[in-house]
Amino acid sequence: MSKKVIAAIDLGSNAIRMKIGEINKSGKFKELESIRKIAVLGHDTFTQGKLSFDSVDMVCDLLKLFKNSFEDYGVEQYEAMATSAIREASNRDYIVDQIKLKTGLDIKVISNSEEQFLTHKAIKQNLDNYSTIVNEGAVIVVVGAGSIQITTYKEGRLRSSQNVKMGSLRIREAFGDMEDNILNYNKIMDEYITTNLEGVDFFSDDTTYEHLIAVGGEINIIIRMVEEKYEEKVEVLSKKQFSKLYKQVTGMTNEEIEENFQVKRERAKIILPSMMLFRKFMEKVNSNEIISPKISLTDGIIRSIHENIANSKMSDENISDVLANAKVIAKKFHYNKEHCTKVESISTYLFDRLKKLHGMNEERILLQVAAVLHDIGKIVSLDKHYLHSYEIIRSLEVFGMSKDSMEMIANIACYHSMVKPEDSHSNFNSLPRDQRTKVAKLAAILRIADALDRSHQGKINVNAVKLREKKLIVHSLCDVNVDTTLEEWTFSKKANFFTEVYGIEPILKIKREFML
């Protein structure tokens, strides 16, 4: 691998960050420059619902400076990503267009689940003992300016991941000038935070978590307010230190925080709501410390670029997190776990053995998530449940999945039943052409997998598939005493769409054995 200079830009709600680094010939990354500039975009979005063009001009001026650094370092590849302030702005498309015209930079507006996925990449990269921590049980709290993400791990597996639209800046903006007019301001803000966290799974979970990992929410500043030195890539703040500082801060004005701790005014304003949030989690986690990796979204973006350059596919660990979160969500809709697990297993088996036929690779995870979620529409109605599944899935946030990916997953699930995708269907026709083709290919596989467990009793096991001329022979095993008439009939009906998509006729061959 030749040397390559890469860069990441994060257009956040309270600041804009840039990181530039070099990937050397051996594939190792070395940071060259890291810049953070305050730009309170969230003030416009969280109070007015859209960004002002004055704010856009300010952002563009900063981005032009960043772009000058690109030229100075010879940046060859970059990713610039925008989060909640631009994501939630009603005029976001115009904003992104203006930034492109004025700076030449392409901005990608990412979903919350993508943002958290990238942040977790950075955490995994920075925490040397990450595997031990998540195995013992950890709560990862990412406090942004506009939202909080709470992700829990136990025995190395992701248990839950939820987002709450209640970041430190959003809390601040919600109360406006109330601080100067109400004596019990802190108590009211604490009640507001408590109420908004009521629906979070973590607070009703009886599981014991041994570690609290905190990212964002000015945690770096909070630690500096306690300790002058902050040079390690991971810092630890004790519960005792945190509590002592919390008592100090709750009795101070923003001006006093700014003066006593040499904190810039815009950051001083969100110190208290940030600490109130962290305090809620400290009270429940069985730990006497907060672990704080020195990372930001830019680190996750850099990591993602690095992996793409190295042609790394999504790791098994990341896939496990995505699927675990999908299953947690499916459980809330009372899904049939055994059936969906069976459908996922058959789907992925077919996908892996038909790669020459469908020509896809990274799309495997879309098929897996669709298999997990395909029946959740039944919670609304058994009649046309596939349509309800579509509407529910497209509104969900699954860890690591973009909005476009969720739209594809929703469409794949929508067509797992007898209805086939048509250009007249608005949900299907609204997809870009290449996505429509992928959805059709994946839905055709899912339909066969679903047909083979039509009775939801796990009667059939697929043990081989063979392509012979224009036929796909699906070899299956089942017990001699089991009646598979329903599965065979459904397979013959659903196989027609596979033939339409691939030009190959699926044929089911069942071998019957005495099975225990």
Q: What is the CATH number of the domain that holds 192?
A: 3.30.420.150
- CA 30 – CA 19 distance, rounded (Å): 11
Instruction: Report if residue 476 sits inside a domain.
Output: yes
The reply to whether 446 and 505 lie within a common domain is yes
Q: Say which residues have a Cβ less than 8 Å from residue 436's Cβ, sequence separation at least 6.
A: 421, 428, 429
pLDDT in tens, 234-285: 688 999 999 999 999 988 888 999 999 988 888 888 898 899 999 999 999 9
Structural domain span for residue 44: 4-110
Instruction: Report if residue 302 sits inside a domain.
Output: no
pLDDT in tens, 421-448: 988 899 999 999 999 999 999 999 999 9
Domain boundary at 261, 296, 331, which? 296
- DSSP conformation class of 121: H
The reply to whether 250 and 317 lie within a common domain is no
Split into its structural domains, the chain has a count of 3
Closest CA to 474 of 486, 460, 484, 485: 460
The answer to whether the CB of 48 falls within 8 A of the CB of 341 is no
pLDDT in tens, 481-505: 999 999 999 999 999 999 999 999 9
| pLDDT, average across residues 469-474 | 93
The reply to whether 224 and 275 lie within a common domain is yes
The reply to whether 346 and 417 lie within a common domain is yes
Domain boundary at 61, 92, 110, which? 110
pLDDT in tens, 188-215: 888 999 998 988 889 988 889 999 999 9
The answer to whether the CB of 13 falls within 8 A of the CB of 39 is no
Residue by residue, what is the 3-state secondary structure of 406-446?
A: HHHHHHHHHCCCCCCCCCCCHHHHCCCHHHHHHHHHHHHHH
The reply to whether 369 and 457 lie within a common domain is yes
Instruction: Report if residue 362 sits inside a domain.
Output: yes
Report the pLDDT value the prediction gives residue 231, as an integer from 0 to 100: 56
Structure tokens at 103: 């700076």
- pLDDT at 1 > cutoff 80: no
The reply to whether 348 and 445 lie within a common domain is yes
Given 3-state DSSP classes, what are the helix, strand and coil percentages for the chain, each rounded to the nearest 5? 50, 20, 30
